[in-house]
Chain A
Protein backbone atom coordinates (compact mmCIF):
# COMPACT_ATOMS: atom_id res chain seq x y z
CA UNK A 1 0.00 0.00 0.00
CA UNK A 2 2.79 2.38 0.81
CA UNK A 3 4.84 3.09 -2.23
CA UNK A 4 7.76 5.37 -2.69
CA UNK A 5 6.59 7.84 -5.26
CA UNK A 6 8.73 8.36 -8.28
CA UNK A 7 7.05 11.35 -9.85
CA UNK A 8 7.39 14.26 -7.48
CA UNK A 9 4.50 16.31 -8.76
CA UNK A 10 1.86 13.71 -7.95
CA UNK A 11 2.71 13.32 -4.29
CA UNK A 12 0.91 14.07 -1.10
CA UNK A 13 3.07 13.72 1.96
CA UNK A 14 1.88 11.36 4.65
CA UNK A 15 1.21 13.54 7.68
CA UNK A 16 -1.67 12.22 9.72
CA UNK A 17 -0.47 8.61 10.16
CA UNK A 18 2.91 9.90 11.37
CA UNK A 19 1.24 11.28 14.47
CA UNK A 20 -0.01 7.81 15.14
CA UNK A 21 3.48 6.46 14.62
CA UNK A 22 4.85 8.87 17.20
CA UNK A 23 2.71 7.34 19.88
CA UNK A 24 3.99 3.86 19.14
CA UNK A 25 7.32 2.67 20.51
CA UNK A 26 10.04 3.80 18.17
CA UNK A 27 11.53 0.76 16.63
CA UNK A 28 12.16 1.94 13.14
CA UNK A 29 10.97 5.11 11.39
CA UNK A 30 11.18 6.02 7.82
CA UNK A 31 9.51 8.79 5.85
CA UNK A 32 7.32 7.16 3.35
CA UNK A 33 5.58 8.99 0.58
CA UNK A 34 2.11 8.04 -0.39
CA UNK A 35 1.45 7.95 -4.09
CA UNK A 36 -1.85 9.63 -4.71
CA UNK A 37 -3.25 10.62 -8.06
CA UNK A 38 -4.76 14.09 -7.87
CA UNK A 39 -6.04 15.74 -10.97
CA UNK A 40 -6.21 19.48 -10.99
CA UNK A 41 -8.85 20.44 -13.49
CA UNK A 42 -8.42 23.90 -15.00
CA UNK A 43 -11.61 25.53 -16.12
CA UNK A 44 -11.59 26.92 -19.63
CA UNK A 45 -14.27 29.46 -20.43
CA UNK A 46 -15.84 29.74 -23.84
CA UNK A 47 -14.89 32.93 -25.70
CA UNK A 48 -17.75 35.34 -26.27
CA UNK A 49 -18.99 36.08 -29.76
CA UNK A 50 -16.79 38.38 -31.79
CA UNK A 51 -18.51 41.69 -32.42
CA UNK A 52 -17.74 41.59 -36.12
CA UNK A 53 -20.08 39.17 -37.90
CA UNK A 54 -18.37 35.87 -38.77
CA UNK A 55 -16.66 35.91 -42.13
CA UNK A 56 -16.56 39.70 -42.13
CA UNK A 57 -13.50 41.87 -42.17
CA UNK A 58 -13.44 45.00 -40.03
CA UNK A 59 -11.74 46.96 -42.79
CA UNK A 60 -14.35 45.98 -45.38
CA UNK A 61 -17.13 46.66 -42.89
CA UNK A 62 -15.75 50.15 -42.32
CA UNK A 63 -15.40 50.80 -46.01
CA UNK A 64 -19.01 49.72 -46.63
CA UNK A 65 -20.17 51.95 -43.81
CA UNK A 66 -18.27 54.95 -45.16
CA UNK A 67 -19.46 54.32 -48.73
CA UNK A 68 -23.03 54.40 -47.46
CA UNK A 69 -22.32 57.65 -45.66
CA UNK A 70 -20.53 59.47 -48.47
CA UNK A 71 -22.51 58.08 -51.38
CA UNK A 72 -25.99 57.21 -50.07
CA UNK A 73 -27.70 56.88 -53.44
CA UNK A 74 -24.81 54.88 -54.95
CA UNK A 75 -24.53 57.12 -58.03
CA UNK A 76 -20.83 57.80 -57.67
CA UNK A 77 -20.09 54.14 -57.08
CA UNK A 78 -22.08 53.28 -60.19
CA UNK A 79 -20.30 55.90 -62.31
CA UNK A 80 -16.81 54.83 -61.28
CA UNK A 81 -17.47 51.11 -61.23
CA UNK A 82 -15.12 49.04 -63.40
CA UNK A 83 -18.15 47.17 -64.71
CA UNK A 84 -19.68 50.37 -66.03
CA UNK A 85 -18.81 50.69 -69.74
CA UNK A 86 -19.70 54.38 -69.62
CA UNK A 87 -17.39 55.12 -66.72
CA UNK A 88 -15.04 58.10 -67.32
CA UNK A 89 -11.82 57.66 -69.26
CA UNK A 90 -8.92 59.98 -69.85
CA UNK A 91 -9.83 62.57 -72.47
CA UNK A 92 -13.44 63.00 -71.37
CA UNK A 93 -14.63 66.48 -70.53
CA UNK A 94 -16.19 66.44 -67.07
CA UNK A 95 -17.94 68.81 -64.75
CA UNK A 96 -17.72 68.70 -60.98
CA UNK A 97 -20.38 70.48 -58.93
CA UNK A 98 -19.71 71.21 -55.30
CA UNK A 99 -22.27 71.67 -52.56
CA UNK A 100 -21.91 75.44 -52.76
CA UNK A 101 -22.94 75.12 -56.46
CA UNK A 102 -19.50 76.15 -57.71
CA UNK A 103 -18.45 74.15 -60.76
CA UNK A 104 -15.23 73.11 -62.40
CA UNK A 105 -15.06 71.92 -66.00
CA UNK A 106 -11.96 70.16 -67.25
CA UNK A 107 -10.53 67.37 -69.30
CA UNK A 108 -9.91 64.14 -67.41
CA UNK A 109 -6.19 63.49 -67.33
CA UNK A 110 -6.21 60.62 -64.86
CA UNK A 111 -8.67 58.49 -62.95
CA UNK A 112 -7.18 56.71 -59.94
CA UNK A 113 -9.55 54.02 -58.80
CA UNK A 114 -8.79 53.39 -55.15
CA UNK A 115 -12.06 52.58 -53.41
CA UNK A 116 -12.98 55.40 -51.07
CA UNK A 117 -9.83 57.25 -52.11
CA UNK A 118 -10.78 57.40 -55.80
CA UNK A 119 -9.60 60.65 -57.39
CA UNK A 120 -9.98 62.39 -60.73
CA UNK A 121 -7.56 64.92 -62.20
CA UNK A 122 -9.17 67.59 -64.38
CA UNK A 123 -7.32 70.10 -66.52
CA UNK A 124 -8.51 73.27 -68.16
CA UNK A 125 -7.09 76.61 -69.25
CA UNK A 126 -8.28 79.82 -67.63
CA UNK A 127 -7.08 83.15 -69.07
CA UNK A 128 -4.30 81.35 -70.86
CA UNK A 129 -2.99 79.55 -67.78
CA UNK A 130 -3.26 75.81 -67.45
CA UNK A 131 -5.20 74.85 -64.31
CA UNK A 132 -5.41 71.37 -62.84
CA UNK A 133 -7.61 70.21 -60.03
CA UNK A 134 -7.64 66.87 -58.31
CA UNK A 135 -10.94 65.86 -56.74
CA UNK A 136 -11.67 63.22 -54.17
CA UNK A 137 -14.69 61.60 -55.76
CA UNK A 138 -16.34 60.45 -52.52
CA UNK A 139 -15.88 63.74 -50.73
CA UNK A 140 -19.37 64.63 -49.49
CA UNK A 141 -18.64 68.25 -50.50
CA UNK A 142 -18.85 67.14 -54.11
CA UNK A 143 -22.49 66.95 -55.07
CA UNK A 144 -22.36 65.82 -58.65
CA UNK A 145 -19.86 64.53 -61.20
CA UNK A 146 -20.94 64.28 -64.82
CA UNK A 147 -19.43 63.61 -68.21
CA UNK A 148 -20.18 66.47 -70.61
CA UNK A 149 -18.46 65.21 -73.70
CA UNK A 150 -16.66 62.11 -74.89
CA UNK A 151 -13.88 62.56 -77.45
CA UNK A 152 -14.30 61.10 -80.91
CA UNK A 153 -10.66 60.05 -81.07
CA UNK A 154 -8.83 58.63 -78.07
CA UNK A 155 -5.11 58.30 -77.65
CA UNK A 156 -4.08 54.81 -76.64
CA UNK A 157 -3.08 55.94 -73.16
CA UNK A 158 -4.57 55.43 -69.73
CA UNK A 159 -3.25 58.76 -68.42
CA UNK A 160 -3.19 61.96 -70.44
CA UNK A 161 -0.30 63.66 -68.66
CA UNK A 162 1.53 64.12 -71.97
CA UNK A 163 -0.85 66.83 -73.19
CA UNK A 164 0.49 69.32 -70.67
CA UNK A 165 2.11 72.24 -72.46
CA UNK A 166 1.77 70.64 -75.90
CA UNK A 167 0.02 73.17 -78.12
CA UNK A 168 -1.41 70.48 -80.36
CA UNK A 169 -3.14 68.48 -77.64
CA UNK A 170 -3.55 70.75 -74.62
CA UNK A 171 -7.03 71.81 -73.56
CA UNK A 172 -8.32 75.29 -74.27
CA UNK A 173 -10.53 77.27 -71.91
CA UNK A 174 -13.18 74.59 -71.74
CA UNK A 175 -15.59 76.66 -69.69
CA UNK A 176 -15.54 79.51 -72.24
CA UNK A 177 -15.71 77.05 -75.12
CA UNK A 178 -18.79 75.36 -73.75
CA UNK A 179 -20.43 78.69 -73.01
CA UNK A 180 -19.77 79.79 -76.57
CA UNK A 181 -21.20 76.59 -77.98
CA UNK A 182 -24.26 76.87 -75.81
CA UNK A 183 -24.82 80.40 -77.08
CA UNK A 184 -24.43 79.23 -80.66
CA UNK A 185 -26.88 76.42 -80.08
CA UNK A 186 -29.41 78.82 -78.56
CA UNK A 187 -29.06 81.14 -81.55
CA UNK A 188 -29.52 78.25 -83.93
CA UNK A 189 -32.67 77.16 -82.11
CA UNK A 190 -33.99 80.71 -82.18
CA UNK A 191 -33.38 80.93 -85.89
CA UNK A 192 -35.16 77.62 -86.40
CA UNK A 193 -38.16 78.82 -84.43
CA UNK A 194 -38.32 82.02 -86.45
CA UNK A 195 -38.32 80.15 -89.74
CA UNK A 196 -41.16 78.00 -88.49
Chain B
Protein backbone atom coordinates (compact mmCIF):
# COMPACT_ATOMS: atom_id res chain seq x y z
CA UNK B 1 0.00 0.00 0.00
CA UNK B 2 1.48 3.29 -1.09
CA UNK B 3 0.87 6.00 1.42
CA UNK B 4 1.47 8.81 -1.03
CA UNK B 5 -1.53 7.89 -3.08
CA UNK B 6 -3.97 8.20 -0.19
CA UNK B 7 -5.06 11.72 0.69
CA UNK B 8 -5.07 12.18 4.43
CA UNK B 9 -6.15 15.08 6.55
CA UNK B 10 -2.92 16.69 7.63
CA UNK B 11 -2.14 16.42 11.26
CA UNK B 12 0.49 18.57 12.89
CA UNK B 13 2.37 17.39 15.82
CA UNK B 14 2.31 19.43 19.01
CA UNK B 15 6.02 19.90 18.78
CA UNK B 16 5.82 21.78 15.47
CA UNK B 17 2.80 23.96 16.19
CA UNK B 18 3.68 27.53 15.41
CA UNK B 19 4.18 29.59 18.54
CA UNK B 20 4.13 33.34 18.84
CA UNK B 21 7.49 34.29 20.15
CA UNK B 22 7.21 36.56 23.17
CA UNK B 23 10.02 38.37 24.87
CA UNK B 24 11.08 37.06 28.19
CA UNK B 25 9.73 39.25 31.00
CA UNK B 26 12.30 41.27 32.87
CA UNK B 27 12.95 39.49 36.09
CA UNK B 28 13.18 41.26 39.40
CA UNK B 29 16.75 40.07 39.67
CA UNK B 30 17.84 41.08 36.17
CA UNK B 31 20.61 43.70 36.09
CA UNK B 32 18.64 46.37 34.27
CA UNK B 33 15.69 46.11 36.67
CA UNK B 34 18.03 46.09 39.61
CA UNK B 35 19.69 49.23 38.25
CA UNK B 36 16.32 50.99 38.00
CA UNK B 37 15.46 49.94 41.52
CA UNK B 38 18.66 51.19 43.09
CA UNK B 39 18.67 54.55 44.77
CA UNK B 40 21.38 56.07 42.62
CA UNK B 41 22.38 59.69 42.46
CA UNK B 42 22.27 61.85 39.38
CA UNK B 43 25.67 63.35 39.99
CA UNK B 44 28.87 62.48 41.84
CA UNK B 45 29.73 63.76 45.30
CA UNK B 46 32.94 65.17 46.71
CA UNK B 47 35.98 63.85 48.53
CA UNK B 48 37.60 65.62 51.43
CA UNK B 49 39.36 65.41 54.76
CA UNK B 50 37.99 66.10 58.20
CA UNK B 51 39.99 68.90 59.80
CA UNK B 52 38.21 69.61 63.07
CA UNK B 53 35.17 71.33 64.47
CA UNK B 54 34.19 74.95 65.13
CA UNK B 55 31.20 76.70 66.69
CA UNK B 56 29.07 78.52 64.18
CA UNK B 57 26.35 81.06 64.95
CA UNK B 58 23.13 80.94 63.02
CA UNK B 59 20.09 83.03 63.99
CA UNK B 60 21.62 83.72 67.40
CA UNK B 61 22.07 80.02 68.13
CA UNK B 62 25.30 78.09 68.22
CA UNK B 63 25.80 75.07 65.98
CA UNK B 64 28.78 72.73 66.13
CA UNK B 65 30.21 72.43 62.62
CA UNK B 66 32.72 70.07 61.06
CA UNK B 67 35.41 71.66 58.91
CA UNK B 68 36.08 69.68 55.74
CA UNK B 69 38.94 70.39 53.37
CA UNK B 70 38.32 69.54 49.73
CA UNK B 71 41.87 69.06 48.56
CA UNK B 72 42.38 68.92 44.78
CA UNK B 73 39.45 66.63 44.13
CA UNK B 74 39.63 65.43 40.51
CA UNK B 75 38.04 62.86 38.24
CA UNK B 76 40.49 59.97 37.79
CA UNK B 77 38.33 57.46 35.96
CA UNK B 78 35.03 57.29 34.13
CA UNK B 79 33.10 54.03 34.09
CA UNK B 80 30.37 53.41 31.56
CA UNK B 81 27.72 50.73 31.20
CA UNK B 82 29.12 49.69 27.81
CA UNK B 83 32.52 48.87 29.22
CA UNK B 84 32.08 48.27 32.94
CA UNK B 85 28.38 47.47 33.30
CA UNK B 86 27.50 50.56 35.28
CA UNK B 87 27.96 54.31 35.23
CA UNK B 88 30.36 55.68 37.81
CA UNK B 89 32.96 58.33 38.38
CA UNK B 90 36.15 57.63 40.22
CA UNK B 91 37.45 60.68 42.07
CA UNK B 92 40.83 61.26 43.65
CA UNK B 93 41.71 63.56 46.50
CA UNK B 94 44.86 64.89 48.13
CA UNK B 95 48.35 64.31 46.84
CA UNK B 96 50.94 61.59 47.24
CA UNK B 97 54.63 61.28 46.48
CA UNK B 98 55.08 59.41 43.17
CA UNK B 99 57.78 57.28 44.89
CA UNK B 100 55.12 55.86 47.20
CA UNK B 101 52.69 55.01 44.42
CA UNK B 102 52.80 51.71 42.56
CA UNK B 103 53.62 51.72 38.85
CA UNK B 104 50.18 50.44 38.02
CA UNK B 105 48.51 53.31 39.83
CA UNK B 106 50.92 55.82 38.28
CA UNK B 107 49.79 54.59 34.87
CA UNK B 108 46.18 54.91 35.95
CA UNK B 109 46.68 58.52 37.03
CA UNK B 110 48.71 59.30 33.90
CA UNK B 111 45.80 58.16 31.73
CA UNK B 112 43.56 60.74 33.43
CA UNK B 113 46.42 63.28 33.25
CA UNK B 114 46.24 63.98 36.96
CA UNK B 115 48.89 63.95 39.66
CA UNK B 116 49.04 60.90 41.95
CA UNK B 117 46.23 61.07 44.50
CA UNK B 118 46.28 60.08 48.15
CA UNK B 119 42.75 58.66 48.24
CA UNK B 120 40.38 57.56 45.53
CA UNK B 121 36.71 56.63 45.72
CA UNK B 122 33.93 55.80 43.31
CA UNK B 123 30.50 57.35 42.95
CA UNK B 124 27.80 55.44 41.13
CA UNK B 125 25.55 57.63 39.01
CA UNK B 126 22.20 56.93 37.39
CA UNK B 127 23.17 57.47 33.74
CA UNK B 128 25.69 59.04 31.43
CA UNK B 129 24.35 62.56 32.18
CA UNK B 130 26.05 62.39 35.55
CA UNK B 131 29.48 61.69 34.08
CA UNK B 132 32.25 64.26 33.86
CA UNK B 133 35.37 64.32 31.67
CA UNK B 134 38.65 62.96 33.04
CA UNK B 135 40.66 65.38 35.14
CA UNK B 136 37.74 67.68 35.99
CA UNK B 137 38.22 69.57 39.24
CA UNK B 138 35.38 69.35 41.75
CA UNK B 139 35.24 72.35 44.04
CA UNK B 140 33.28 72.89 47.28
CA UNK B 141 30.68 74.93 45.36
CA UNK B 142 29.66 71.59 43.81
CA UNK B 143 27.57 71.42 46.99
CA UNK B 144 24.90 74.01 47.61
CA UNK B 145 24.48 75.80 50.91
CA UNK B 146 21.44 74.38 52.69
CA UNK B 147 21.44 71.06 50.89
CA UNK B 148 21.71 67.74 52.72
CA UNK B 149 24.51 65.26 52.21
CA UNK B 150 25.49 61.79 53.35
CA UNK B 151 29.02 61.53 54.70
CA UNK B 152 30.88 58.23 54.76
CA UNK B 153 34.02 57.75 56.81
CA UNK B 154 35.85 55.35 59.08
CA UNK B 155 35.15 55.71 62.77
CA UNK B 156 37.85 55.97 65.42
CA UNK B 157 39.50 52.65 66.26
CA UNK B 158 39.00 51.59 69.87
CA UNK B 159 41.17 48.47 69.89
CA UNK B 160 40.18 45.18 71.55
CA UNK B 161 37.22 45.92 73.80
CA UNK B 162 35.05 43.91 76.15
CA UNK B 163 31.35 43.27 75.65
CA UNK B 164 30.26 46.04 78.04
CA UNK B 165 31.90 48.78 76.00
CA UNK B 166 31.52 47.16 72.60
CA UNK B 167 27.91 46.00 72.77
CA UNK B 168 26.52 47.66 75.89
CA UNK B 169 26.05 44.42 77.83
CA UNK B 170 25.11 44.85 81.47
CA UNK B 171 28.00 42.83 82.86
CA UNK B 172 27.56 41.04 86.15
CA UNK B 173 26.82 42.20 89.70
CA UNK B 174 29.50 43.63 91.93
CA UNK B 175 28.69 41.19 94.74
CA UNK B 176 26.42 38.16 95.45
CA UNK B 177 29.21 35.70 94.88
CA UNK B 178 30.50 37.11 91.59
CA UNK B 179 34.24 36.86 91.44
CA UNK B 180 36.63 38.20 88.80
CA UNK B 181 33.95 38.20 86.05
CA UNK B 182 32.22 41.54 86.80
CA UNK B 183 32.59 42.76 83.22
CA UNK B 184 32.13 39.41 81.47
CA UNK B 185 29.35 38.52 79.06
CA UNK B 186 27.90 35.48 80.85
CA UNK B 187 26.33 32.68 78.87
CA UNK B 188 26.90 32.55 75.12
CA UNK B 189 24.36 29.87 74.20
CA UNK B 190 22.31 26.82 75.09
CA UNK B 191 23.16 23.23 75.88
CA UNK B 192 23.56 19.99 73.96
CA UNK B 193 20.84 20.96 71.50
CA UNK B 194 22.63 23.35 69.24
CA UNK B 195 25.95 22.25 70.71
CA UNK B 196 27.54 25.28 69.13
CA UNK B 197 27.67 29.04 69.37
CA UNK B 198 25.50 30.74 66.77
CA UNK B 199 27.34 32.83 64.18
CA UNK B 200 27.25 36.55 64.84
CA UNK B 201 27.21 36.14 68.62
CA UNK B 202 28.20 39.42 70.20
CA UNK B 203 31.48 38.99 71.99
CA UNK B 204 34.59 40.95 72.89
CA UNK B 205 36.83 41.98 70.02
CA UNK B 206 38.09 44.79 67.85
CA UNK B 207 35.90 47.86 68.14
CA UNK B 208 35.72 50.91 65.91
CA UNK B 209 37.47 51.66 62.62
CA UNK B 210 34.32 50.72 60.77
CA UNK B 211 32.81 52.51 57.80
CA UNK B 212 30.02 54.70 59.05
CA UNK B 213 27.64 56.82 57.02
CA UNK B 214 25.98 59.80 58.60
CA UNK B 215 22.87 60.73 56.67
CA UNK B 216 21.20 64.08 56.08
CA UNK B 217 24.01 66.37 57.14
CA UNK B 218 23.28 69.99 56.31
CA UNK B 219 25.81 72.04 54.34
CA UNK B 220 26.31 75.29 56.24
CA UNK B 221 28.95 77.02 54.19
CA UNK B 222 31.15 76.47 51.14
CA UNK B 223 34.30 78.39 50.27
CA UNK B 224 36.00 77.80 46.94
CA UNK B 225 38.95 80.07 47.70
CA UNK B 226 40.18 77.87 50.55
CA UNK B 227 38.60 74.56 49.49
CA UNK B 228 36.41 74.53 52.56
CA UNK B 229 33.04 72.99 53.43
CA UNK B 230 31.29 73.46 56.77
CA UNK B 231 28.92 70.65 57.71
CA UNK B 232 26.41 70.77 60.54
CA UNK B 233 27.14 68.41 63.39
CA UNK B 234 29.80 65.78 63.81
CA UNK B 235 31.24 63.21 61.42
CA UNK B 236 32.61 59.79 62.37
CA UNK B 237 36.37 59.51 62.71
CA UNK B 238 39.33 61.52 63.92
CA UNK B 239 40.68 64.72 62.37
CA UNK B 240 42.41 64.09 59.06
CA UNK B 241 40.09 61.21 58.19
CA UNK B 242 39.17 60.76 54.53
CA UNK B 243 35.51 61.57 53.84
CA UNK B 244 33.20 60.64 51.02
CA UNK B 245 30.45 63.23 50.70
CA UNK B 246 27.48 62.61 48.43
CA UNK B 247 24.04 64.14 47.99
CA UNK B 248 21.59 62.74 50.53
CA UNK B 249 19.63 59.82 49.10
CA UNK B 250 16.70 60.50 51.41
CA UNK B 251 16.30 64.21 50.72
CA UNK B 252 15.76 65.98 47.41
CA UNK B 253 18.28 68.48 46.11
CA UNK B 254 17.25 72.12 46.60
CA UNK B 255 15.89 73.81 43.51
CA UNK B 256 18.29 76.29 41.93
Closest A residue to B64 using CB positions: A117
Cα–Cα, bound, A45→B134 (Å): 14
Cα–Cα, bound, A62→B239 (Å): 15
Closest A residue to B61 using CB positions: A139
Q: A66 to B56, Cβ gap below 8 A?
A: yes
B residues 105-119 in Cβ contact with A at 8 Å: 106-107, 109-110, 113-116
Q: A58 to B62, Cβ gap below 8 A?
A: no
Instruction: Point out the residues of chain A lying under 8 angstroms from B103, CB to CB.
Output: 42
Which one of B28-36, B160-168, B223-231 contacts A? B223-231
Q: A57 to B51, Cβ gap below 8 A?
A: yes
Number of interface residues of A (CB under 8 A): 26
Assuming the contacts A42-B106, A51-B225, A116-B55, asked whether A58 and B69 have C-beta atoms less than 8 A apart, the reply is yes
Cα–Cα, bound, A136→B54 (Å): 13
Q: A47 to B62, Cβ gap below 8 A?
A: no
B208 at the A interface (CB under 8 A) = no
Interface of B is mostly: mixed
A residues 5-23 in Cβ contact with B at 8 Å: none
Cα–Cα, bound, A52→B71 (Å): 9
Q: Contact string, B40-80, partner A, CB cutoff 8 A, digits 1/0?
A: 00000000000110111100101000010101100000000
Instruction: Point out the residues of chain A lying under 8 angstroms from B230, CB to CB.
Output: 62
A residues 47-75 in Cβ contact with B at 8 Å: 47-48, 50-52, 57-59, 61-63, 66, 70
A138 at the B interface (CB under 8 A) = yes
B189 at the A interface (CB under 8 A) = no
Partner of B57, one of A50, A59, A61, A139: A139
A residues 92-107 in Cβ contact with B at 8 Å: none
Assuming the contacts A70-B57, A139-B60, asked whether A47 and B95 have C-beta atoms less than 8 A apart, the reply is yes
A46 at the B interface (CB under 8 A) = yes
B205 at the A interface (CB under 8 A) = no
B residues 193-240 in Cβ contact with A at 8 Å: 224-228, 230, 239
Q: A44 to B57, Cβ gap below 8 A?
A: no
Instruction: Point out the residues of chain A lying under 8 angstroms from B114, CB to CB.
Output: 45
B98 at the A interface (CB under 8 A) = yes
Q: A59 to B54, Cβ gap below 8 A?
A: yes
Instruction: Point out the residues of chain B lying under 8 angstroms from A50, CB to CB.
Output: 71-72, 95, 227
Cα–Cα, bound, A50→B115 (Å): 12
A141 at the B interface (CB under 8 A) = yes
Cα–Cα, bound, A136→B61 (Å): 9
A130 at the B interface (CB under 8 A) = no
Residues of A within 8 A of B (CB): 42-48, 50-52, 57-59, 61-63, 66, 70, 115-117, 136, 138-141
11 A-B pairs whose Cβ atoms sit less than 8 Å apart in the complex? A42-B103, A47-B115, A50-B71, A51-B71, A51-B224, A52-B227, A59-B67, A63-B54, A117-B62, A139-B57, A141-B60
Besides A59-B239, A117-B55, 9 new A-B residue pairs in contact (Cβ under 8 A), listed by A number? A42-B110, A45-B113, A47-B72, A57-B51, A58-B69, A58-B228, A62-B54, A139-B62, A141-B60
Residues of B within 8 A of A (CB): 51-52, 54-57, 60, 62, 67, 69, 71-72, 95, 98, 103, 106-107, 109-110, 113-116, 224-228, 230, 239
